[in-house]
Amino acid sequence: MSMNIKILGMGDLKTRALRDNLDAALRLYPLKGKIEEVSEVNRIALSGVTETPALLFDNQIISEGNVPSIEELTNLLRNRFLYKSKLYRLSKILVPVDFSTSAENALCFAWEIARHFDATLDVVHAMEGVFEGNTQATSGLLEQHVQTTQQALQAFVTETFRKFFPNDLPITPVAAGPGEVSSPSALYRVRAKVEFGFPEIVLENLTQRYDLLVMGTSGKSNLATQVLGSVSLELSRSAHCPVMLIPPGAQYSGFRNVLYASNFESNDPEKVKQVVAFAKKFDAQLHFVHVGKVQEHGEKLERALFEVNYKYSDPEKPFVFQKMVGEDVTEKLHEYAFYHKTDLFVFVTPRRGFWQNLLHKSQTKHMVLNTHTPVLVVHQFNDLVNN
């Protein structure tokens, strides 16, 4: 796959140095594509660059205002797809809520993740409609109900922050749009908005514009638990971004030990890099855990491939590779997680059917809906920005 590389600058010494270093890096790591040098002020302004010289890969800003070394540029070229991945960029997080304690918990996790990635949060409540008996409500009544729900949602966000983050209480900014709130003591933004429509459809469509979906797996009542649990599982299959499912019993204390459910299909170099980059933000120890039979072909090769992929992911900690013997994957993963104090399960799904088939098993549903450990689902088929 070819790549379009642009150098934005005014032809000064730093711009020429960037071109020289890039040429040297491309000799070390050759790629198909073309290099374009842009010096027109208007084109530079339209690119979003604020300081030159700047380097763009496929119109995405990789560096600006400095001259990366040849070694740094070689690594940038090697990891060029990583910079387009949603889990790596993680600048926008979507949090669906239903005013339950489970939704509070999900919002807490999302806020903590946002701290580490300097990301923004959009808190959304999807409502299906207002009915009077068997007749749908008039537009006036519906508008009034939406406004009431918007106020309730904004109050829910404020109360959640007051309860869990008293030093980051959101306030309604003077210049904000309807339902927007932000934190006065940090650079993060929180926006609260009511969306109209069936939750599964609304949220699936919204995920196209986000880098991560964080949601709870139970709701306000027994019925809501069943419904929200169903929505959570459905979105874990169909969302257009990685999904983190937060069980009601989970308590955020960082992600110190991350369990990557390992197999050949999940051993994709770019996905390993993404998970490693995510784990580095939390100074986490990665555990690659494979569940299989006693005498299983390919285990040594799988470990060797992970070692290679991990090596080029620029980790700060060595990884742990563990083989668990058994037929029940989820049971063995839980066993390992218990003894190693796992804070997060990661499932990389190479295709929709992989995760869907796994969820058909009652043990997996039980794990997702009843575990105290969050589950991160990363899909290989929809993780790239502008995919």
Q: Do 174 and 208 fall into the same domain?
A: no
CB 213 within 8 A of CB 94: yes
Q: Do 117 and 229 fall into the same domain?
A: yes
Q: Do 267 and 302 fall into the same domain?
A: yes
The confidence band for 228, taking pLDDT boundaries of 50, 70 and 90, is very low
Q: Do 169 and 202 fall into the same domain?
A: no
In a domain, 383, yes or no: yes
Region 277-295 average pLDDT? 87
**Predicted local distance difference test score (pLDDT) of residue 358:** 55
**Predicted local distance difference test score (pLDDT) of residue 68:** 93
Between 21-35, 157-171, 176-190, 284-298, the lowest mean confidence (pLDDT) is in 176-190
Q: Do 203 and 232 fall into the same domain?
A: yes
Comparing 61 with 67, the larger pLDDT belongs to 67
Query: Is 183 a residue whose pLDDT tops 50?
Result: no
Q: Do 251 and 224 fall into the same domain?
A: yes
CB 32 within 8 A of CB 3: yes
In a domain, 23, yes or no: yes
**Predicted local distance difference test score (pLDDT) of residue 285:** 92
Q: Do 53 and 115 fall into the same domain?
A: no
Mean pLDDT of the chain: 79
- Please report, for residues 9, 219, 343, 363, the alpha-carbon distance to residue 367 in angstroms, rounded to integers and kept in the order given: 53, 17, 14, 6
CB 90 within 8 A of CB 117: yes
Q: Do 254 and 344 fall into the same domain?
A: yes
Give me the domain span that covers residue 174: 129-196
Q: Do 110 and 163 fall into the same domain?
A: no
Q: Do 36 and 165 fall into the same domain?
A: no
In a domain, 96, yes or no: no
CB 114 within 8 A of CB 93: yes
Q: Do 268 and 373 fall into the same domain?
A: yes
Region 315-336 average pLDDT? 82
In a domain, 140, yes or no: yes
